Amino acid sequence: MIDCHTHWGRAWTERDGLDPRRWLEPLTAHGVQRAMVMPEEGLLDAGRIGRDNDRVAAVCARSDGRMIPCCTVNLWMREEAARETRRCLGDLGMRGIKFHPWLQGGSVSSPLMDEVCELAAEYGVPVLFHDGTPPFCLPSQMALLARRHPGVQIVLGHSGLFEHWREAIAALKGTPNLWGCLCGPHVAAMREIVRQCDLSRLLWGTDHGYGLADVYQYRFPLMDTLRLSDAARQAIFDDNPARLLRGPASASKIR
Amino acid sequence: MVIDSYTTPGTERETALSAGELLKAMDRAGVERAVIAPQDREIAVRHAEGNDRILKLASASGGRFIPACSVSPWRGEEGLRLLREASRCGAKMLVLAPMLQGFIPTDEIADPLLKLAGELRMPVYVHTGPHSAGGPTQGVLMAEAHPGTNFILGHCGSTDHAWDMPVILQRNRLPNVWYEASLVRPWAVPGYLKAAGSSRIIFGTAMPRNDMEFELAQLRRLLPEEEHPDVYGGNLARLLGEGA
């Protein structure tokens, strides 16, 4: 099982330094083997991006492969953003790029986002977004980005949240390299996403690590209320994340 | 007594839920009473139809359903008439959904309706969320402009206004505003409670968008019901003039 939406947050650094053991405890307790780990401080403070990317890489390196490091860059840093992307993906071996456009103050439609996507294609890593909140985080904005970069796997980190999940469905249906992470919408919305969208591009995540709370106690039973088939669970919790991390998506559909 | 402050027994899309199914869910979860509100189409355009449907469901529920009504501020004088009629027939709460109804909460278009709700002693439940029509800060200005009307900020802006809420709760608290917790992540609620005090937070599930039993179990885990009876029903009962 792979959790596709987690963070290494400031609270963890302040308490545990670079030791991931306590961060991993709830994963172990709930049977989650691996997690895609994104920064938090770097999303909030552009001046600390390099340091936070280093920190995420270092923590993940101590996790016996269970924590898959993702970096972030700030598009307003222009050339430096491209350099930092190369450093993270090349030198540090990070396996994804995360953007939180409203927190970071940058548009998904910025030309620099296109440059970052070209680097993502070069290194074969996905680009993950916070989504579900205007004006910078609409699923439709990410769909158009994905269509401009058909060789890059783009992930809606929240599948539209509470207000834009219908938009997420439309975006996912019309964009074969767009993925939806079930981390945020209410139960009725998730049911509809699962019913309408290509199951082979749905993922699951928890936002674990943004704070110190054990969010798995909430996220797991929440997913249970969907009463997914065994095949759907296998796809969403295991197979799809593994395929996303391997590279370009296959077009196969699971029903 | 546990009262769910917001549910939508409806017939369409994600709110397709019969009264019988809602009552069964309430029994399973240990919820004695629930506010029932019109579904989206009824909140957006079919106000009279929706209010009538909800009032009928409530009158057949043996007191377990508390009827809410909705009117768009854009209905003007006709809307005021609809609100008076709903109140006369037993509606206890006015629901406004600014995104769905197409107005910014601070817009003067809503003033006559809000004033009348105050005169009718009917609290106004305002849906808030991460959109430009219905942010919780807008709700605060709306309530500030109508001190004679009581407001419930539904969902506390849900997730992406989590940074606004502590400021609102600590620095911009108003005597005529309560805060409803459906769609708020459960681990955020204790912090809101600490900031606002137990007399201001109201439990709700937004069933059937959420699963009632699950949501209640999650919140009970973090806020034991016996320690916070006001959150689970007392505050809402008092607000509706029903005592607690």
A208-227 confidence digits (pLDDT tens) = 999 998 999 999 999 999 99
Tokens at A207, concatenated: 């936002």
Q: Does residue A63 form part of some domain? A: yes
Residue B167 clears pLDDT 80, i.e. is over it: yes
B55 close to B30: Cβ distance less than 8 angstroms: no
Residue A204 clears pLDDT 60, i.e. is over it: yes
The residue range of the domain holding B154 is 3-239
Give the pLDDT confidence of A44-65 residue by residue, as tens digits.
999 999 999 999 999 999 999 9
* Rounded Cα distance, B159 and B17, in Å: 25
Cβ distance A161 to B183 less than 8 Å, yes or no, reads: no
Residue A43 clears pLDDT 90, i.e. is over it: yes
pLDDT at residue B175, rounded to an integer: 96
Chain B partners within 8 Å of A217 (Cβ): 218, 221
Give the pLDDT confidence of A145-158 residue by residue, as tens digits.
999 999 999 999 99
Full 3-state SS string of chain A: CEEEEEEECHHHHHHHCCCCHHHHHHHHHCCCCEEEEEECHHHHCHHHHHHHHHHHHHHHHCCCCCEEECECCCHHHCHHHHHHHHHHHHHCCCCCEEECHHHHCCCCCCHHHHHHHHHHHHHCCCEEECCCECCCECHHHHHHHHHHCCCCCEEECCCCCCCCHHHHHHHHHCCCCEEEEECCCCHHHHHHHHHHCCHHHEEECCCECCCCCCCHHHHHHHHHCCCCCHHHHHHHHHHHHHHHHHCCCCCCCCC
Identify residue A101 by its one-letter amino acid code: P
Q: Does residue A128 form part of some domain? A: yes
Q: Is B186 helix (H, G, I), strand (E, B) or coil?
A: helix
B15 close to B40: Cβ distance less than 8 angstroms: yes
The domain that contains A52 carries what CATH number? 3.20.20.140
Q: Does residue B21 form part of some domain? A: yes
**Most A CBs within 10 Å, among B160, B164, B216, to test the A interface:** B160
Q: Does A217 touch chain B (CB under 8 A)?
A: yes
Chain B partners within 8 Å of A221 (Cβ): 214, 217-218
- Gyration radius from chain A CA atoms: 17
- Percent of chain B scoring above 70 in pLDDT: 99
pLDDT at residue A251, rounded to an integer: 35
Identify residue B177 by its one-letter amino acid code: V
Cβ-Cβ contacts under 8 Å for B225 (sequence gap 6 or more): B2, B232
Chain A partners within 8 Å of B160 (Cβ): 102, 132-133, 161
Q: Does residue A95 form part of some domain? A: yes
Please identify among residues 149-178 of chain A the ones whose CB lies closer than 8 Å to any CB of chain B: 161-163
Cβ-Cβ contacts under 8 Å for B233 (sequence gap 6 or more): B1, B2, B3, B32, B33, B203, B244
Residue B132 clears pLDDT 90, i.e. is over it: no
pLDDT at residue B163, rounded to an integer: 82
HSE-up (13 A, CA, CB side) for residue A51 = 9
Strand-pair partners of B108: none
Residue A253 clears pLDDT 50, i.e. is over it: no
A165 close to A157: Cβ distance less than 8 angstroms: no
pLDDT at residue B243, rounded to an integer: 57
Q: Does A76 touch chain B (CB under 8 A)?
A: no
Query: Count of CB atoms within 10 A of residue B37's CB?
Result: 31
Cβ distance A186 to B159 less than 8 Å, yes or no, reads: no
**What's the number of domains chain B is made of?**
1
* Rounded Cα distance, B178 and B180, in Å: 7
B91 close to B116: Cβ distance less than 8 angstroms: no
**What's the number of domains chain A is made of?**
1
State the average pLDDT for chain A.
94
pLDDT at residue A252, rounded to an integer: 37
pLDDT at residue A135, rounded to an integer: 87
Cβ distance A132 to B185 less than 8 Å, yes or no, reads: no
Kindly report the length of chain B: 244
pLDDT at residue A166, rounded to an integer: 94
Q: Does residue B244 form part of some domain? A: no
Nearest CA to A40 among A84, A9, A81? Answer: A9
State the average pLDDT for chain B.
95
Quote the DSSP letter at residue B91: -
The residue range of the domain holding A30 is 2-245
Q: Are strands B124-127 and B93-96 parallel, antiparallel or unpaired?
A: parallel
A241 close to A4: Cβ distance less than 8 angstroms: yes
Q: Does residue A251 form part of some domain? A: no
Size of interface A-B (CB pairs under 8 A): 58
Query: Count of CB atoms within 10 A of residue A247's CB?
Result: 12
pLDDT at residue B9, rounded to an integer: 98
The more confident residue out of A73 and B164 is A73
Q: Does residue B165 form part of some domain? A: yes
What's the gap in Å between the CA of A237 and the closest CA on chain B?
Answer: 21
Cβ distance B209 to A222 less than 8 Å, yes or no, reads: no
pLDDT at residue A254, rounded to an integer: 34
Classify burial at B184, counting beta carbons within 10 Å of its beta carbon; exposed 0-12, middle 13-18, buried 19 or more: buried
**With the C-alpha atoms ordered B135, B140, B146, B148, is the resulting torsion angle positive or negative?**
positive
Chain B partners within 8 Å of A163 (Cβ): 99, 129-131
pLDDT at residue B161, rounded to an integer: 86
**CA distances for B100 relative to A170, B20, B103, B127, angstroms:** 19, 27, 8, 9
Chain B residue set in contact with A, beta carbons under 8 Å: 14-15, 99, 129-132, 155, 158-160, 183, 185-187, 206, 208-211, 214, 217-218, 221
Cβ distance A102 to B160 less than 8 Å, yes or no, reads: yes
Quote the DSSP letter at residue B67: E
Residue B125 clears pLDDT 50, i.e. is over it: yes
Nearest CA to B152 among B144, B161, B143, B160? Answer: B143
pLDDT at residue B244, rounded to an integer: 45
Work out the average pLDDT over B57-84.
Answer: 98
- Gyration radius from chain B CA atoms: 16
Identify residue A178 by its one-letter amino acid code: L
Work out the average pLDDT over B163-190.
Answer: 93
Query: pLDDT band at residue B81, thresholds of 50, 70 and 90?
Result: very high
Q: Does A187 touch chain B (CB under 8 A)?
A: yes
Cβ distance A102 to B132 less than 8 Å, yes or no, reads: no
* Rounded Cα distance, B244 and B1, in Å: 8
* Nearest by CB: A187 against B129, B210, B217: B210
Cβ distance A162 to B218 less than 8 Å, yes or no, reads: no
Residue A255 clears pLDDT 60, i.e. is over it: no
Residue A250 clears pLDDT 80, i.e. is over it: no
The domain that contains B35 carries what CATH number? 3.20.20.140
Q: Is B175 helix (H, G, I), strand (E, B) or coil?
A: coil
**CA distances for A118 relative to A97, A123, A133, B225, angstroms:** 12, 9, 25, 53
Tokens at B28, concatenated: 């399973």
HSE-up (13 A, CA, CB side) for residue B80 = 12
- Percent of chain B scoring above 90 in pLDDT: 91
Nearest CA to A203 among A167, A166, A163, A154? Answer: A154
Chain A partners within 8 Å of B163 (Cβ): none
pLDDT at residue A249, rounded to an integer: 44
Cβ distance B211 to A189 less than 8 Å, yes or no, reads: no
* Rounded Cα distance, A152 and B163, in Å: 32
pLDDT at residue A78, rounded to an integer: 86
Work out the average pLDDT over B182-190.
Answer: 94
Give the H/E segment covering residue B139.
helix B136-145
